[in-house]
Chains A and B, each alone.
Chain A
């Protein structure tokens, strides 16, 4: 059995009297697409925020490659190769595709200009952005300097995924990537997810869309009442099973008390 790449044990997060995470566990194995599903308020977002560095858990341990890690911010998680595509995409609409891809980790020119005057190496950044978009088959975006707000919803999602794929060397977390998209655009994003996985980078997919989850996921992590209820194999379970576990209408085998 391979070791999990990213794992969490007994995560607890309380907000006043609300317990968002109640000893939650999490395991992500190399090269897989792990879907995380759960009812609204089940604590999925808190779990995801904890492993992406956006929230610091009150208790519990997160391990990357078997070594305990602690993230003070999303920047820490990013430095360790964990990239998140947020539901809101976290793109600046008025800035260009290239600016957005390098937001927070711009490339400076070598030598005096870059070191002392902080001059950006726009050519290098544009080339890199173009290369990454081409790699993911998104090069129908013709002008790397066009503002993100002039792109369609699917294209924006593509830029956000490309940004994560370009820098996320270990793990990519996608939060509801298809929620705001039409059928056709969702299709493309799902293709994109499989594309990224084929590069060997494991993906955590948070989604409410059962058909999408069952189509791409290798394993499905079901979250309920602040903790992991079970992990199921999408080939061995039906969508209605998953929904029943999620809502508590049915208890998975082996857990029945």
Chain B
């Protein structure tokens, strides 16, 4: 066994190159590898196909106006999905994002309207409140080591109760906001670009995703978020302070929920403590359809943006085709299952 080893380099080269020979693969294998390399291609393909299909079914679908309407409709849930993506990338899940968003919109509204706090300060207080809710979730997950699912199931109820308490279950009406705190409705402001009608809320969503893209791919923090989600033990051994990374993720997610809250006030026009009850699950839907793995560490941050658009396109397309609303749910349900099945299949590449 201990024959004298000849120079290392020459001996290794030919064999190892053969291991990377990709030529003898079936088409299916190649598709699998391609998707493994570019996981966002799945939602992109689904989005393109659904655009084509609905465009063929109903001629009105492809108007700039209708497509921009889809963007307006997904802006709030899309922004929320950005927060959800961060948590899911760490192999967690945040069931409280929707409740946090509504709670913060109530905080902003109450401070500005009923307590006479200057609106910019009310908004900052709302964002700080988002950071605090995130810090609570993060503290429970990292310090008490509770599973994120249960932690956020608990805080969801807590935040919902706080929301009812602070709002007194009263809606702050649109007219009141117009006179007392118009800045809260800023993200509902519409503007027109060549037939398309967009809101600043749409811009906010795109900017949030762009900033997250930068943070996740171009900074050390982002690489660490992926590493912690991928394999927390390995990340810790490699010198990552995993708790600190997790904590930062929950706090950033909380702040993004705060931005979504501000955006939601503009979208709805009023501040209702009972609005967006399904936003939690809708944000998870967008993330899953967007190809981010629920097991953490895999998927592109741009996926959930596309995922949110897919849901929006399905809703709009089916409505224009005159199909009953229930089939939107039906279709979304199958999309979720399909997305998770594809994720499982792609992950097998590694074994």
Contact = CB atoms under 8 A, between A and B. Distances in A.
A and B assemble together: yes
A76 to B, nearest CB: 10
Contacts of A149: 349-350
A58 interface: no
A253 interface: no
A137 B12 contact: yes
B76 interface: no
Contacts, number: 108
A118 B219 contact: yes
Contacts of B322: none
A181 interface: no
B179 interface: no
Given A91-B234, A99-B223, A188 B12 contact: yes
B220 A88 contact: no
A118 B233 contact: no
A211 interface: yes
B27 to A, nearest CB: 19
B325 interface: no
Contacts of B219: 117-120
B204 interface: no
Contacts of A195: 8
Interface string A134-148: 001111111000010
B227 A103 contact: yes
Interface of B: prevailing SS: helix
Contacts of B1: 211, 215
Interface string B225-263: 011001101110111100000000000000000000000
Interface in A147-164: 147, 149-150, 152, 155
A78 B237 CA distance: 11
Contacts of A187: 5
Contacts of A103: 223-224, 227, 235, 238-240
A94 B297 contact: yes
A247 interface: no
Interface of A: 54, 74-75, 78, 84, 86, 88-95, 99-100, 103-106, 108, 117-120, 136-142, 147, 149-150, 152, 155, 187-188, 190-192, 194-195, 211, 215
8 contacts: A94-B226, A99-B226, A117-B214, A118-B218, A137-B12, A140-B13, A140-B15, A191-B8
Interface of B: 1-2, 5, 8-9, 12-13, 15-17, 19-20, 214, 218-221, 223-224, 226-227, 230-231, 233-235, 237-240, 297-298, 349-350
